[in-house]
Amino acid sequence: MSDRPGVPARDLSDEELERQGVHAHAMRHWVFLHGTADQFRTHTERMLELEQEYLRRHPQRTWQGAGGDADPPSREDRIRDLVQTFSRAMTALLDEEPAAAAPGPRRDPEAAQAALLQRFAQAPDGRLHKLEAHQIARRLAPDNRLVARLYRSDPPLLQAEKDVRVITDAGRAWLAEHPVPA
């Protein structure tokens, strides 16, 4: 971790350690959403370094204050929490309203739905990873809720299976009735 600029966490005063740690935790979403991969890696390493030093000095506390008698979280638990945090941030980002409609011809919502279902029908076993499905949907429609509408419709045209979206029989039937425009 010596390739990062800055004072090593072990050399900081308690007050400065806590200040930098709180700042690093507050900035993690911004760095994830707006920074480069290298900035994110560097920021995460520094944040974990500060947190580990703080927990070493004060094993009974957390960033949020006094912690009770619970053992500090393991490295695996901290990694799992970080992954879940960024998974929620990615989902929220995918669910955001578009800032402005992209210039150019607007696609009919039914045509976009048919085109997306066609991509699912062409995929092996009618399955696409959810991120791939959302990427395709963003190219097809100005609003990025297309995928969610398909598996929340009655009957559902897509089915969610963990990180995968699968076309249903109802989706195949709908696609047969609404061919993809050329």
Q: Output the average pLDDT for the chain.
A: 79
Angle between helices 109-122 and 130-140 (to 10 degrees): 140
> What are 71-118's pLDDT values in tens digits?
677 888 888 888 888 888 888 777 776 555 455 555 677 888 888 888
What are 138-170's pLDDT values in tens digits? 888 776 677 778 878 888 888 888 888 889 999
The predicted-structure confidence for 50-64, as pLDDT tens digits, reads as follows 888 888 887 776 655
Cis peptide before 59 (omega within 30 of 0): no
Query: pLDDT confidence of 1, banded at 50, 70, 90?
Result: very low
Evaluate whether 134 touches 121 at the Cβ level (below 8 Å): no
Interacting residues of 168 by C-beta distance below 8 A, sequence separation 6+: 155, 156, 157, 158, 159
Which single residue is written with the structure tokens 């800032």? 99
CA distance 159 to 165: 6
Tokens matching residue 85:
């945090």
d(Cα 155, Cα 143) in Å, to the nearest integer? Answer: 21
Helix residue ranges, H only, 35-145: 37-57, 75-95, 109-122, 130-140
